A and B are shown apart, each in its own frame.
Chain A
């Protein structure tokens, strides 16, 4: 992963409630949010050495900052998301035009199916996990699987606080996996355990899961994650990762953290 798509939080705020984290009464400290976002970008660029592609923020689209939900990028093809909630459906056209403007072949999702991009599809080079039920439809995965010749193992998300797969599951470059087991049902937990051996799995404790420890960005042996997750950090360090904790609590007011704020382009 050398390039990430991001969007500055110029118009970030809470203007609607579409997940349990969002409270209209919970005002975002705008200056603080901007400082936190720039701190994250600094870590990305200087500590991880990735190239950032910055989208132009749009007034009235407060969640455009969460570019992980723009879609997914496979090679030079971008599958643009089709959001479940009308509040975010207005972002689709902007993401699509960004991809087209940057030379990507755009694939759209058939009407009636919802798909929220890299928020619900992430995995290892050999296979992916797909989160469904809260936002994305399970029926999108066979379509993507066929198009990209990739195995996608659907996992039902059963806790509305962990509404995207990237809020409760994070595959790492060395084959390890962070996950919050209570966000999945027993079928999902079994499917995960079948694929990732015990010693490679960290079942993140609930207090850290609620701080979105799993909403982490892994590039090589670097992991960027929100602050306040010492158990997760300690385990990552034992596994040989360099951890970078960034304060992102302003974005947690919207139910997003490090991973939600970036989309891997390649």
Chain B
């Protein structure tokens, strides 16, 4: 990504003289890129035009070279100011006029230097360390009285996403979601990414973890085996879900049903509606899902695979949960905190068959993380794809079909 940038201002009769064209050509020929901002073209011959050009490069040296080359053509560097900060007036309260973040890479200017904001996420504030050397996105609820919080817009800049270099579905998506679109090649591209990420993850490389956030429809629809296989094969490295996915996964293991329906028979079994409650009760008796797996009570399935392969699971509770299972975080602020803690290092997010968990996870993800949202309800992938990221891919399809096809592409025997 082009992290070095500077804004320059060009004014005068820059259109007819082709001075603007020359400056833009120079930037490109030297290997920089630019965004034209605030272009105003004079309406009469006398009225001058002006343009604000944001130049981006891959190195400081190249940026300096470009600035040196274009300054004789009238490009003046915009006077930039440090960002302003105010102290948080109380715990959990931001100062008035706090800067609200986007999910795009963001920098703030401190002591004349541009500094990356760590752990960027939408709808947060930016806290600056006492030494003024570190900036981090911070949720409102996590702010402590006296924290230095960025206020106003001065000295804050957001770096738009570039289209990824990979020529796959993530590079070409136009944030359109359609049930009519063929899914095959999209799933193939996702599989290719996952294959590469597994390789990178095994080498301990950064941003190589695959996060899956899923709902219980994965179990109901018959995607349990495929997802279990993906976890066992090392393609999924973090799981976000709720009480239900875990409960029905283990219900399937103990009773062969999901919410009382026989998964193989395909019909309701007598007293089947009790199965998930009995399952939850059983795990509560044992004390934890991990103990249930290690003791051999729970033998197969998604939770078992996660325990055996050390895949961290964050289970966030909801108001209608039964039980809940041990380990479900019922305080939603704490649940959000736990999910947030596992976001750094994620290189691909699969949000499957869950409106609540998909949206919650999507809100936590920086725009730079490629994201796939799969749901039979088009409104969910549409909502996620509308986050303004080139890298958000929406698929309107059944969870089980998606996971089965994905697993097949990754080598699962059929």
Contacts of B11 in A (CB 8 A): 142
Are A194's CB and B16's CB within 8 A?
A: yes
Contacts of A138 in B (CB 8 A): 12, 19, 72-74
Q: A138-B19, A151-B13, A191-B16 are in contact. Are A145 and B74 (CB under 8 A)?
A: no
Are B48's CB and A139's CB within 8 A?
A: no
Contacts of B72 in A (CB 8 A): 132-133, 137-138
Chain B residues with a Cβ closer than 8 Å to the other chain, count: 17
Query: Does B181 have its Cβ within 8 Å of any Cβ on chain A?
Result: no
Give A109-146 as 1s and 0s: 1 = Cβ < 8 Å from B's Cβ atoms. Answer: 00000000000000000110000110001110110011
Interface residues of A in 189-204 (CB under 8 A from B): 190-191, 194-195
Interface residues of A in 146-186 (CB under 8 A from B): 146, 149-156, 185
Interface residues of A in 218-266 (CB under 8 A from B): none
Are B17's CB and A150's CB within 8 A?
A: no
Give B58-76 as 1s and 0s: 1 = Cβ < 8 Å from A's Cβ atoms. Answer: 0000000000000011101
Chain A residues with a Cβ closer than 8 Å to the other chain, count: 26
Are A139's CB and B46's CB within 8 A?
A: no
Q: Which of B13, B48, B72 has the most CB of A within 10 A?
A: B13
Are A126's CB and B45's CB within 8 A?
A: yes
Contacts of A155 in B (CB 8 A): 17
Complex Cα gap A139–B110 (Å): 30
Are B45's CB and A127's CB within 8 A?
A: yes
Are A187's CB and B46's CB within 8 A?
A: no
Q: Which of A132, A141, A150 has the most CB of B within 10 A?
A: A141
Contacts of A152 in B (CB 8 A): 12-13
Contacts of A139 in B (CB 8 A): 12, 74, 76
Q: A133-B72, A151-B13, A156-B73 are in contact. Are A142 and B48 (CB under 8 A)?
A: yes
Contacts of A150 in B (CB 8 A): 46
Q: For the complex formed, measure the closest distance between the CB of B216 and the CB atoms of chain A, giving whole angstroms.
A: 64
Interface residues of B in 1-49 (CB under 8 A from A): 11-14, 16-19, 21-22, 45-46, 48
Q: For the complex formed, measure the closest distance between the CB of A97 and the CB atoms of chain B, giving whole angstroms.
A: 30
Contacts of B16 in A (CB 8 A): 151, 153, 191, 194-195
The chain B residue with its CB closest to the CB of A185 is B22
Q: For the complex formed, measure the closest distance between the CB of A123 and the CB atoms of chain B, giving whole angstroms.
A: 11
Q: For the complex formed, measure the closest distance between the CB of B304 and the CB atoms of chain A, giving whole angstroms.
A: 69
The chain A residue with its CB closest to the CB of B76 is A139
Q: For the complex formed, measure the closest distance between the CB of A110 and the CB atoms of chain B, giving whole angstroms.
A: 13
A142 partner, pick from B12, B18, B21, B73, beta carbons under 8 A: B12
Could you pull out 22 A-B pairs where Cβ atoms are within 8 angstroms? A127-B45, A137-B74, A138-B12, A138-B19, A139-B74, A139-B76, A141-B13, A142-B13, A145-B12, A145-B46, A149-B46, A151-B13, A151-B16, A152-B12, A154-B19, A154-B74, A156-B73, A185-B22, A187-B17, A187-B19, A190-B18, A191-B18
Top 8 nearest A-B pairs (CB, nearest first) are A142-B12, A187-B18, A138-B74, A153-B17, A151-B45, A187-B22, A154-B17, A191-B17
Other 4 A-B pairs with CB < 8 A, given A138-B19, A152-B13, A154-B13:
A145-B46, A154-B17, A154-B74, A155-B17
